[in-house]
């Protein structure tokens, strides 16, 4: 059931991101902050590490600050502040691990896992940056449709060796279809976008399979949202490489 919870959480978060891209920048920023908070509060539960509230706050604040700067920084370097917040967030994780008094035997795992959460939360600001870079929702919509197809396929309980190629192929077909219907993006570019997005999502599915089922609902929700954070910066940089 918790694996289904992760999939549904990812679909809901994706719907929020796409819907926010059609609204004002302030709504997109609000959505980014809320998703960062949800990811931050749930990621330590998924990892099963000590100091959950403190580490969760670090992750959430990193994502929120990155979203704010992506929304307010003058172009074209909309993510110019992102490395700063990632460095500060990772540094804060190290400080938390040094001062806490429990779970010393798993300190390395906690540090690496929480640092990954900081990275994912910060990269999610790429969704806002991508929308500001083009001034339209075409890229977000194409990426969203491709990601939706991959997420739905990923919820099927078949072996990864079957699901991964199937998701990549179908997402590579869904991207051009969305491009033909809703934008002027070239179908080859849209196919590349769809395939890359599906590959990233299937990598997270494989990681989730190897790590086992989430320990609770909060962890499952965070695991569902986490891949979308990675896709944020990916969409932004693909946009810069292929579209412009």
H/E segment holding residue 44: helix 25-47
pLDDT of 114-126, one tens digit each?
999 999 999 999 9
Number of compact structural domains in the chain: 1
Residue 85 belongs to what domain range? 2-243
The answer to whether residue 143 scores a pLDDT higher than 70 is yes
pLDDT of 181-192, one tens digit each?
877 777 888 888
Closest CA to 15 of 204, 225, 171, 230: 225
pLDDT band at 24 (very low <50, low <70, confident <90, very high): confident
The answer to whether residue 176 scores a pLDDT higher than 50 is yes
| Residue 84 to residues 28, 79, 110, 111, 130, Cα–Cα distance (Å) | 22, 10, 22, 19, 19
Backbone angles phi, psi at 166, to 5 degrees: -60, -45
- Region 201-224 average pLDDT: 83
Q: What pLDDT, on a 0 to 100 scale, did the predictor assign at position 4?
A: 78
Q: How many CB atoms lie within 10 A of CB 152?
A: 15
In whole numbers, what is the pLDDT of the chain averaged over residues?
A: 86
């Amino acid at each position: 059931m918790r694996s289904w919870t992760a999939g549904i959480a990812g679909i809901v978060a994706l719907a929020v991101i796409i819907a926010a891209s059609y609204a004002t920048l302030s709504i997109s920023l609000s959505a980014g902050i809320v998703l960062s908070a949800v990811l931050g509060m749930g990621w330590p539960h998924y990892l099963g590490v000590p100091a959950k509230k403190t580490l969760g706050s670090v992750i959430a604040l990193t994502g929120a600050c990155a979203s704010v700067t992506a929304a307010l920084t003058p172009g074209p370097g909309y993510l110019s502040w992102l490395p700063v917040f990632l460095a500060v967030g990772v540094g804060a994780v190290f400080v938390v691990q040094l001062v806490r008094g429990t779970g010393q035997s798993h300190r390395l795992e906690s540090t690496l896992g929480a640092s990954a959460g900081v990275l994912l939360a910060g990269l999610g600001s790429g969704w806002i940056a991508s929308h500001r870079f083009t001034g339209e929702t075409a890229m977000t919509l194409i990426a969203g449709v491709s990601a939706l197809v991959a997420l739905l396929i990923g919820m099927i309980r078949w072996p990864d060796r079957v699901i991964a190629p199937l998701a990549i192929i179908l997402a590579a077909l869904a991207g051009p279809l969305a491009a033909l219907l809703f934008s002027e993006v070239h179908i080859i570019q849209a196919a590349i976008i769809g395939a890359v997005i599906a590959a990233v999502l299937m990598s997270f599915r494989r990681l989730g399979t190897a790590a086992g089922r989430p320990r609770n609902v909060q962890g499952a929700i965070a695991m569902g949202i986490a891949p979308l954070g990675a896709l944020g910066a990916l969409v932004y940089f693909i946009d810069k490489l292929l579209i412009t």
